[in-house]
Amino acid sequence: MTDPERPAMIDRPGLAALQSEANIAVGPRRVPGRDIPVPTGLDASHAVLVEAPYSPAWNLAPADDDGWRVVQRAMAERVGPILSRIRDELGITMIRTMLGRVGAYMLSPADLPAAHRDQLVFFLHGGGYVLGAGEAGTTEATLLAAYGRYRVVSIDYGVAPDRPHPAGLNDAVAAWCALTASHDPRTLALGGLSAGGGLALALLLHLRDEGLPMPAAVSLGSPWADMTRTGDSYATNEWLDNVLVSYDGYLSHAGRLYAAGHDLRDPALSPIYGDFAGLPPTILLTGTRDLFLSNTVRTHRKLRDAGVEADLQLFEGLSHAQFALTPGATVTRTACGEISRFFDRHLIAAD
C-alpha cells in the first residue's frame, strides 16, 4: 500500500540520463514535472503563506466592463469590515482626505515616534490597476503604518474599467504636487506595491522629466515594472506563485483593460523601459516564488546601473506581495521594519 505522506521513489540515474538528453542542445531548459515542497525552517506565520492554495482570484476574467464593476463592488463590501477590524487591532486611525482633486486615506499609528512626526509616506496600492479602489486599497498602507510606524497616505487613484490609463498616473502626479505644495519633499517617501510599484516608478520618471520635487526615498514592493510577458520568472515561477499563478490569468486581463490599447512598452505603463538616472534611493522587496521576481530584480539592476542607491530584500518561498498583506505575520513585520529603517536613513525631520 502506498503511503501518501511519502514521496514516490525516483529513479535518479534514469532521470539524470533523460534530463541530460533532453537538454543537450542550446535553447530552453526542459524540466520534469515535480512537487515543490514548503521550505524548512520557516515560522508558522511564514509557512502558511507558502503552503496556501491558489488565490481564488488568480484567473478572474469577467466578460465585460459591468462584470468588472460587480467584482469591484463585491471586493469593497467584503474587505471594508475586515480592514476596520485590522485597524482597531493594530491601533491605526484612518481619515479620508483629499490631495488636490484626488481622494486619499491617511493612516496613522497610535505610537508615532517623535522622529517621524513631520514625515509622511505617499503610497500607491496594488490590485492590477483594477482592484483596490476606495478603502479596499488601504491594506498595505495600514500595515506599513502599524509596523513601520510612519504616517502613510494611500492614494485612491483611477482604475479600469471606468478610468483606464493614463488616469492612474495623472492622479498620482496631481496628488503628489498637492502634497509637496505644503510639505518639504525631503520629509516625504514614496511607496508602492505591485501595480502601485509600477505606478510609483512611472511617477518618478514624470517628476524627474518635468523638474518637479522628488521624494527622499522610495519603497517598491514586487513592482509591476514591465506589463509585457518579459522576464525569466514569468516562466520559472508560473504555477508556483500561489497569488498571481500565471501571467495569462487575471494579470493579463487586468493589464489590457487598464492599458486600453496603449503600447505596453510605454514607460508610463512599463517603466522598466525608461531611463532611471537621477531617481531617489530605493528599497525593493520580493519573494523567491514571486511571478514578479524578475520584474523586481531587473528594476534593481537597472537602478544600480544608473548609479542609484538600491537595496534588494528577498524572502524565502514567498509568492507575489505576500510580505506586505498579512497582519501579524513575522515576515510582514520584518518587511515593514526594513522599509522603515531605509526611510529613516534618507528622510529628514522638518524644520
pLDDT, one tens digit per residue, over 218-228 is: 999 999 999 99
Beta strands in 74-187 (DSSP E): 92-99, 102-109, 120-124, 152-155
What pLDDT does 15 receive?
A: 87
Decide if pLDDT at 32 tops 90. Answer: no
**CA 318 vs CA 45, 69, 215, 285, 322: distances in Å:** 12, 30, 29, 11, 6
State how far Cα 300 lies from the chain centre. Answer: 14
CA 90/CA 71 separation, integer angstroms: 28
Q: Which long-range contacts (CB under 8 A, 24 or more apart) does 58-61 make?
A: 58/243, 58/244, 58/245, 58/246, 58/249, 58/250, 59/245, 59/246, 59/249, 59/250, 60/249, 60/250, 60/253, 61/249, 61/250, 61/253
8 A C-beta contact, residue 297 and residue 312: yes
pLDDT per residue as tens digits for the range 81-121: 999 999 999 999 999 999 999 999 999 999 999 999 999 99
Q: Alpha-carbon distance 340 to 331, whole Å?
A: 14
Distance of alpha carbon 158 from alpha carbon 327, whole angstroms: 26
Ranges assigned E (strand) in the chain: 92-99, 102-109, 120-124, 152-155, 188-193, 217-221, 282-287, 310-315
Strands 152-155 and 102-109: antiparallel
Is-contact 116 350, C-beta < 8 A? no
CA distances to 62, 225, 262 from 65, rounded to whole Å, are 8, 25, 18
Residue 341 scores a pLDDT above 80: yes
C-alpha cell at 263: 503600447
Please report which confidence band the pLDDT of residue 305 belongs to, taking 50, 70 and 90 as the band edges. Answer: very high
Could you tell me the residue ranges of all domains in the chain? 76-346
- CATH H-level superfamily of 76-346: Alpha/Beta hydrolase fold, catalytic domain (3.40.50.1820)
Distance (Å, rounded) from C-alpha 184 to C-alpha 197? 22
Helix (H, G, I), strand (E, B) or coil at 52: coil
151 pLDDT above the threshold of 50? yes
Q: What is the mean pLDDT of residues 38-65?
A: 97
Instruction: Give, to the nearest 10 degrees, the angle between helix 65-90 and helix 139-148.
Output: 20
Percent of all residues in the chain with a pLDDT value above 90, rounded to a whole number: 91
Say whether pLDDT at 1 is over 70: no
In the predicted structure, residue 7 carries a pLDDT above the cut 80: no
Is the pLDDT at 19 greater than 70? The verdict is yes
